[in-house]
Chains A and B, each alone.
Chain A
Amino acid sequence: MKAMMALLLALIAAPGQAAQDYPADPLGSPMWRAHALTLFGHDPVRFDARVKVEFPAIAEDQRAFPVAIDARGIPGVRRMLLFADLNPIPVAIDYRPTHAAPYVATRIKLDQRTPVRGAVQLEDGQWLVSGGWIDAAGGGCSTPPISRVKGDWADHLGEIRGRAWPQRDGARLRLGFRHPMDTGLVANIATYHLDHLTVKDGDGQLLGDMDLWASVAEDPALTLMPDAPSGGRLLVEARDTNGRNYVARIDLARQSPIPARP
């Protein structure tokens, strides 16, 4: 019994002893250390404003809060994490832009006022982190998706909208899936969400892939920047937690990008 207790204590203490001293959190989040331990482990971590985590000043809809992580100013990014410290499902996206610019934008659920962060990992293993607080009403993760309330989610499951635009380097890809992205936190509705997505070029070469969690908003929307030439083709394959597969093909226009209205 005593030995078991000692072992237990050792186990509990182990992560704390093994973990490095993470830098002090500029956002003062109560969950910073816990998340850093889980997500970054022994890798070096520092806060770096070159990781641009962009979002609106107001969370107008706590069920779909737009966030973009733009790390195009940093060379050698191999992995990008989007997470909200105080969400019951903190991590939304874990993206590997293998042959893609380090940019990802989506919409996430917010369950309360929380830090929203982007973390990017470089080739040498170190993590660069940035983000900010956003105020939000509760319930983003714990109210039923609109399509569940309307009852039409199954009629549209699998619909994918998208388009790709050539831009100076590579392409800009926008995708919108119809999916309830059930969190499992709503009574009698089990967890059910898209959990993996890949983008390939016309030759089948992997350009990027990501894991997704149910803290991504219902009807997930994504903006990515894969390396694909104008006139090329992109193949998107995704899978959800029930094993359903999703496939989309998007042809890149040959014309130059349409400039956004100033």
Chain B
Amino acid sequence: MLSRRSVLTGFAFLPVVARAAESYAIEPEQIAQGIWMVRGADAPIQPDNGGAIANIAIVDTPAGTVLIDCGPSLRYGLALKRVAEELTGKPVIRIYVTHLHPDHGFGLGAFDATRAAALPGTIAAMEAQGQGFSDAMYRILGDWMRGTDLLLPRIALTAGQEDFGGRTFRLLALSGHSSADLALLDEQTGLLMAGDLVFYNRAPSTPTADLPAWRASLDRLAALDHGALLPGHGPLDPGGTAAIVQTRDWLDWLDATLTDAVAAGLDMVEAGMLPIPDRFAGLAAARYELQRSVSHLYPGLEARLLPRVDRPD
């Protein structure tokens, strides 16, 4: 028979044991010669996915393994490193962090930060806002985040290119999804790794967006001679244009809809409940992202569109 103490001790350990069992399933799918993607869940950051919602790319170069983004947590980064190095048989020599958001760059603790590279604007934004993002990730994800510290990439990139023993990436310094967004073109296969400038069949998120800049960046990507496109979220776009067109369509619709909503006198609550057109029916998390975008964009639109009515008392 169990004593009261042993029962209590058992209960005390239960949650820990249950949580320690949670691990990330890292399953690379080949999308081009020497390039694999690890697909993120097309969902919000939530406990059932451990925050693994962003797509990650693993590239086998003659000089070593290159990663584009490294996931939401230390635990993810460690698993990614193991899987990637087993896959290529080469150590990770470069980690590109495409932008500041935590689902892309918080796995850095598993790697040598002196091999991590990002745009200067990304590094500055991570320094300024990373702690806030970290707090939010710990609150939502709990134990998934254990041991995750905010690390900054040590290499500040400029636009241009970087070569790894003959495999060359063209680096595009863009912005709009955030203050600094890196996109990479693999010269060998023409694969465009667009980061979160492009979403596909998953609604774009706007917490740090600048819509005109974002549109300009999409123009640059559309004009680029490229093949398939790996979006930051959603499936591979083999043709390379549909995902760009869809992202722009959503942003244009969002901008026009919220502008009209403010002009028509709708409250934020009502704007978040506006119908989403049928053509976006295939986009995961559409209502969720619309309501987030209302929160991000509405106050600015109100300040622009509602006239001053105060009178001296």
Interface residues, chain A, CB within 8 Å of chain B?
54-58, 60-61, 64, 66-68, 105, 107, 137, 158-165, 172, 174-176, 219, 221, 223, 236-237, 245-250, 257-262
Find the A residue at minimum CB distance from B310: A160
B260 & A260 in contact (Cβ 8 Å cutoff)? yes
- Other than the known A176-B303, A221-B302, what 20 A-B pairs have Cβ atoms closer than 8 Å? A55-B269, A56-B268, A56-B272, A56-B295, A57-B288, A66-B268, A68-B267, A159-B308, A161-B302, A161-B308, A161-B309, A163-B309, A174-B267, A174-B306, A237-B313, A258-B265, A260-B260, A260-B261, A261-B264, A262-B275
Is B294 an interface position by the 8 A CB rule? yes
CB distance from B179 to the nearest CB of A (A): 18
Number of B positions contacting A (CB below 8 A): 39
CB distance from A114 to the nearest CB of B (A): 15
Chain A residues with Cβ under 8 A from B303's Cβ? Answer: 161, 176
CB distance from B222 to the nearest CB of A (A): 26
A158 & B310 in contact (Cβ 8 Å cutoff)? yes
A250 & B291 in contact (Cβ 8 Å cutoff)? no
Instruction: Report how far A219 CA is from B298 CA in the complex, Å.
Output: 13
Chain A residues with Cβ under 8 A from B266's Cβ? Answer: 260
**Residue of A159, A161, A248, A257 most packed against chain B (CB within 10 A):** A161
Instruction: Report how far A237 CA is from B313 CA in the complex, Å.
Output: 9
B311 & A249 in contact (Cβ 8 Å cutoff)? yes
Is B226 an interface position by the 8 A CB rule? no
Find the A residue at minimum CB distance from B44: A58
Using known A-B contacts A246-B310, A247-B310, determine if residue A57 contacts B287 with beta carbons closer than 8 Å: yes
Chain A residues with Cβ under 8 A from B313's Cβ? Answer: 237, 245-247
Is B135 an interface position by the 8 A CB rule? yes
A57 & B311 in contact (Cβ 8 Å cutoff)? no
Chain A residues with Cβ under 8 A from B267's Cβ? Answer: 66, 68, 105, 174, 221, 223
CB distance from A178 to the nearest CB of B (A): 9
Chain A residues with Cβ under 8 A from B135's Cβ? Answer: 137
Which residues of chain B from 255 to 276 have a CB within 8 Å of any chain A CB?
A: 256-257, 260-261, 263-270, 272-275
Find the B residue at minimum CB distance from A251: B309
Partner of A248, one of B274, B288, B311: B311
Using known A-B contacts A56-B272, A68-B267, determine if residue A261 contacts B306 with beta carbons closer than 8 Å: no
Of the A-B pairs whose beta carbons lie under 8 Å apart in the complex, a sample of 28, sorted by A's number, is A54-B269, A56-B268, A56-B272, A56-B291, A56-B294, A58-B291, A58-B292, A64-B295, A66-B267, A105-B268, A105-B270, A160-B308, A163-B309, A174-B265, A176-B306, A221-B267, A221-B299, A221-B302, A246-B313, A247-B311, A247-B312, A249-B311, A257-B265, A259-B264, A260-B261, A261-B256, A261-B264, A261-B274
Tell me the interface secondary structure of chain B in the complex: helix
Is B136 an interface position by the 8 A CB rule? yes
Chain A residues with Cβ under 8 A from B257's Cβ? Answer: 261
**Residue of A56, A174, A262 most packed against chain B (CB within 10 A):** A56
Is B307 an interface position by the 8 A CB rule? yes
Instruction: Report how far A245 CA is from B311 CA in the complex, Å.
Output: 10
A163 & B265 in contact (Cβ 8 Å cutoff)? yes
B269 & A162 in contact (Cβ 8 Å cutoff)? no
Is B139 an interface position by the 8 A CB rule? yes
Partner of B307, one of A56, A105, A161, A247: A161
Instruction: Report how far A84 CA is from B306 CA in the complex, Å.
Output: 29
Using known A-B contacts A57-B288, A223-B267, A260-B266, determine if residue A160 contacts B309 with beta carbons closer than 8 Å: yes
B309 & A105 in contact (Cβ 8 Å cutoff)? no
Is B296 an interface position by the 8 A CB rule? yes
Using known A-B contacts A66-B267, A257-B265, A259-B264, determine if residue A163 contacts B306 with beta carbons closer than 8 Å: yes
Chain A residues with Cβ under 8 A from B292's Cβ? Answer: 58, 60
Chain B residues with Cβ under 8 A from A174's Cβ? Answer: 265, 267, 302, 306
A219 & B299 in contact (Cβ 8 Å cutoff)? yes
Which residues of chain B from 93 to 137 have a CB within 8 Å of any chain A CB?
A: 135-136
B306 & A60 in contact (Cβ 8 Å cutoff)? no
Q: Which 4 pairs of residues, A with B, have the shortest CB-CB distance?
A: A66-B268, A60-B295, A160-B310, A161-B306
Instruction: Report how far A58 CA is from B272 CA in the complex, Å.
Output: 11
Chain A residues with Cβ under 8 A from B263's Cβ? Answer: 258
